[in-house]
Amino acid sequence: MRKFLDRLYKNQTLIYKYFLYLVSIFLIVFFLPKGGQFKYEFQKGKPWQYDNLYAPFDFSIKKTDTEIAKESSEIENRPKEYYNYNDSISDQVYRAFDANFTTVFPLDQFSNSQRTAFERVGKEILDELYKNGILKKTEGDAIKDELYLVKNNEARQVEQRELYHLQDIEKLIENTLDNKGLSSYKSQFQELFFGIVKPNVFIDKNLSHKALENELSKISYTRGSVDEGKLIIAKGEVVESENLKILNSLKDEYASELWAANNYYFILSGY
């Protein structure tokens, strides 16, 4: 213990120097500004009271919260809706058509040429229905005029009118038979298609939500930039909406960029 105190007494000057050194570092760091200083005061509609202000460095012009909220709202009000085309359902319908055809048009009641013609017309109707598919409408969902149809792992934009609804089938059958001069067989064709035609296009809410999130993520929080040395505002000039945005952007840049946290800790480590 005595030896320790002797060494402490002999080195007290050195210890005191180290103590002062550490205290100095602490005080310097403590009082070191943690943000850039923007020394100007300004207000919209008031004249600029200082000398001409030039951009001290390159910086981006930030959008206002109102502008960003408006862009977000516009995207949310016109979302991209994706619908999946289900091939397995359309394949089932074609198989059901083949199975029902002989029942509706039996060999003992229709000639081979008639049956061949009827089958060809029936397949044309199916091809038309399932070219883009039959849309399944979910209660409460408003279907957009334009949507994205995912078929064979490819999405393409189509108009809603290019797809069919179940209530459209009777009219399609009627028009097709009229054009073919087969209106007298309307009841047979309605019987043929009744119960076998099913919707095969369904909304993909998960993919639609991801598409919306992707569009929202693309919103830029800046619009344009100011180059170093460019005149921002002249002395006596009234602070209007446009240069107000530039001044606010410059002020934010001072606060966030010049003395960012990593710069601060870099200075701290240097001491």
The residue-averaged pLDDT of 89-96 equals 97
- The DSSP code for 33 is -
Q: What is the mean pLDDT of residues 171-191?
A: 95
Q: Lowest mean pLDDT: which of 16-25, 78-87, 107-116, 237-246?
A: 16-25
Side-chain-side CA neighbours of residue 95 (13 Å): 6
CA 159 distance to own-chain centroid: 20
pLDDT, residue 105, reads: 96
CA–CA dist 117, 120 (Å, integer): 5
Output the pTM of the full model. 0.66
The Cβ of residue 37 has, within 10 Å, a number of other Cβ atoms equal to 9
Q: Which of 22-36, 90-104, 137-151, 214-228 has the highest mean pLDDT?
A: 90-104
d(CA 176, CA 52): 77
- Take residue 52 and report the two structure tokens written for it: 């001409």
Residue 103 to residue 24: CA distance in whole angstroms: 100
Q: Which region among 33-42, 87-96, 160-169, 192-201 has the lowest average model confidence (pLDDT)?
A: 33-42
Q: What is the pLDDT of residue 10?
A: 57
Q: How high is the pLDDT of residue 29?
A: 47
Are 77 and 83 within 8 A, CB to CB?
no
Asked if pLDDT for residue 28 goes beyond 80, the answer is no
Average pLDDT, the chain: 84
Q: Using pLDDT thresholds of 50, 70 and 90, give the confidence band for residue 102.
A: very high
d(CA 136, CA 159): 15
Hey, which residues does 53 pair with through a beta bridge? 233
| CA-wise closest residue to 79 among 215, 202, 204, 221 | 215
How do 82-85 and 146-151 pair as beta strands?
parallel
